[in-house]
Structure 1
Amino acid sequence: MQFIDAEGLKTLLTDVIRQNVTPEAQAWLFAQGGLKDLSAFYTAFALMPRKTGKFQINIDESQQKQINRSREGFTINNWTTDRLARVWLLMQAEGENNDAYFNTIEKLFSTGEMNELVALYSALPVLSHPQLWVRRCAEGIRSNIGTVLEAIMYDNPYPAENLDEPAWNQMVMKAIFTEKDLTRITGLYTRVNPELARILIDYARERWAAGRQVDPALWQLAVIFVDETAINQMKRGNWENYTAG
């Protein structure tokens, strides 16, 4: 597979923007610089929906495959025009001063409203210096805003690549508690671990005790570290052979 570098990804996203926003909006967006004028950068980020609209983008299969070659596990399917344009703008922000770069984007995280946060968390896989955003990602998992959680969890390779085990496990359990689609969590099966399996089994025990159903995906995760025979016994309500470690 031929991989595309970060500049290639910017070009791909630029092409998708050209297909989905008006020429007037393109001219305005492409005239926005990086961090040389912070006031203009913040203003552009805030004004994005007014300039580009909030329409669902059109992207063909070939373009998505190209994007995936640039950033495995990353997709922009079902994004809106303002979300895409905000992520594109964030990708232009890198400068030689890492502190300025971090502080600028950190301020956006601190002050952003819901749709701005969705764009910021969606941008995590393509922001420079991924180690800088681990704390922000972990904090985002505690959000009660469904669209923000989905921006972190769905089709986003950043959590699987960067979160430590406790934060990763917390994200998976948050997805279960909030009834998110586990199949859209990138790296779900590669990051499963014995502690997560234990937490999942204890959660299943509580669900069964309350007479509630258990998501089949939970068993698929747990069986990686728990004997399948024991899993089948648990499904029938027999917990005698299982003790939480």
Structure 2
Amino acid sequence: MSRLIFALSLVVALTSSALAQGLPTQFPILNEDGSRIANHAIAAGSIAAAEKLPGAVVAANPKGDVTLVEFYDLNCPYCRRASADVEALLQADKKLRLVLVPFPVLGIPSILAGRVEIAVSRMLPPNEFYRYHRALYAGRGVIDGQRALSAASGFNLDLQKVLEAANEDGITDIMKAHVRFADTLTLKATPSYLIGDVAIQGHPGRKSLKGVIDQVRQCGKAVC
């Protein structure tokens, strides 16, 4: 395990929502405080390509009419808040489709937790995995491999099999694939969202995110 963690840590960079400051703001998408949040246009097909990433999960409303892709790190405080806001949006908007892409770039605890989470995603149906994902945010403090493994105990999983799957070399390959893909889209913050024709870097808040969803539903673009 330690060899795999070290190898992966060499190819990821520490990022957070705060690092989104200074990045381009192509569209007038605002944070809750009225400032512009970093965003840029993405090529057609980017969302479809993100869905094909080996660790991506269509976590909610697979037949929805608007797709929101979230790249997240379990130890990013902005991602914790974003998860609650996205859940509220899903509850209010039954046509919103959610794709989750694990992007553990904030250090070894995130990598360990991410390995377990990806292993669990292969053992649970998407709706149950989404419940597991939300459960990981339920407590306070650092989310590491042991905490992610403990959370899996509430889903009738064989924890030894989860641990064995989390230690497979293929999990490292999945994480590297996610980092490489994020690099192609110049994603520099967690969380980052793909929706319509835009990548949003950082969490703008529920109201702002809903505004973008509404625009995409109306015309297929972040700004109609």
Which is greater in Rg? 1
Higher relative contact order (CA 8 A, sep 6+): 2
Which is richer in helix? 1
Structure number having the greater strand percentage? 2
The TM-score with structure 1 as length reference comes to 0.24
